[in-house]
Amino acid sequence: MPGYTADEVNRFDKATIQILKQNAQQDAVKVGNSLFVNFFEAGEVGNLSVDKPLSVIKIEENGRLDIYAADPTLLIEDEINLSVLGKYLLKEGNNVTSIILDDKTKFTFKLDDHQKYFSAVEESQETSEITQETINSNNTDDSPGNSTASTSQENSEDSSTVATNNIVDTNVETSENVVEDTSNNNEVAVEGVQESDSEEEQLIDQTSSEQIAFSQMYLDKYAKMLKNMTDVDISIIDNFNYDHYFTATLSESNKHGLGGRFQTGFNQSLNNHTKIGAFAEYRYNDINQLGLGANARWYDFSSFIRYRHVFDRSAHADYLDLYLGYDKTFTFNQLSIQPRVGVLGSYLLDNKLPDNGKLDNHFAVQTQLSSKFNYHIGGVALYVEPTWKVNLDDSYHLKLNGKEYELNRSRQEWIGKIGVTKNIGNYTFDFSVQTNNHQERKMIATFNYQF
């Protein structure tokens, strides 16, 4: 029940429905012999533990254990360790290993298409079944008993396929189909829940809607990665007045951690009012960005065209950027003011996202308005620079696992920046701090060499 506090769910704590956990680490509900858990991080609840964020349904009945696991983040690629209380022997499951450790059983597996189903039986029951098979070894293959066992096995395989396919869609379909399709015993358990009072039926409906919200929360985390891919930097325009330059920047953010940027390039004067040049840059801030471009400056107008490759170990995207802007500096004794207005267009050429996800080709437009106020004193310049960015583009269309989602960038961003600059010959040192309307705070140190 994501979004509810522990106090808010206490009134639903009935004999057939138990709220085991409701906090930032786990959401756990037990219905009869079925345990439903959303692990937001590695942890343990109800004698079930995992070492990675995971959504798990555990069903225990008559010595049989059924596990249904899914990764709503769509990002887990490593092996997962899942442990339960009791000694179990693996009965069904592809590429799953199990080991009994004292009074627990640990299952190790990798997800198939972000999901997994496997079953096991208690060690004592498996021994009993082996004995029964020995007794029945003289029966004919076409006896009614053998025919029934074969049909049961086929139905079991069919039901697990249906359940795991539905896990991809939503957690709502998972909770319904897994319980309905696993076995006859589990169907009886569901019927018992359906015959409960109306308040419990309302709880199930309400929990289903909250599970949709839970899935959306994980989709938002996926969208956060896409936000990093679409983040565009135009600081290269500050170097268009230099003949040759090299700039190194180191930043520390409360949301993105350590980041960096390196820029180098040259500019050639054609006449007193016109310069053209070329540049290369590399930027890291949660994701790598490599850019190559050409630029021009005419009077107080600046422009550039840039090819930009964005990548990490699981995704990449290619962009073509085009910028046009105007800025002019006004000086009043020790005070200088530099207003700037610009428009940046970015066209998404190609991309590949984790799990074969893909964004449609997209043209994004961003306008930027800023003004830098410098006060020169004692050989240093103190400055304040407010910036306003507005995104004018439509939604991004993400295709993932046969479905299409719309992802929207924040419509606008406000940035406030204060800093100090010191020039020593051809070297410039700059230190600043900034914040924005998304509560991101950043410290930035920049070294620039002009030659």
Return the pLDDT at 45: 92
Return the pLDDT at 230: 79
pLDDT tens across 395-449, in order? 888 887 777 888 777 889 999 999 999 999 999 999 999 999 888 899 999 999 9
* Distance separating alpha carbons of residues 193 and 16, to the nearest angstrom: 7
* Distance separating alpha carbons of residues 50 and 80, to the nearest angstrom: 7
pLDDT tens across 271-316, in order? 999 999 999 999 998 789 999 999 999 999 999 999 999 998 878 9
- Mean pLDDT for the chain overall: 80
What tokens were used for 264?
A: 């180098």
Residues of the chain with pLDDT under 50: 130-131, 133-135, 137-196, 204, 207-215, 218
* Distance separating alpha carbons of residues 450 and 427, to the nearest angstrom: 7
Return the pLDDT at 22: 83
Q: How far is CA 13 from CA 6, 26, 177, 199, in A?
A: 11, 17, 24, 11
Q: How far is CA 52 from CA 29, 70, 73, in A?
A: 19, 11, 11
Return the pLDDT at 106: 94
Model-level pTM? Answer: 0.56
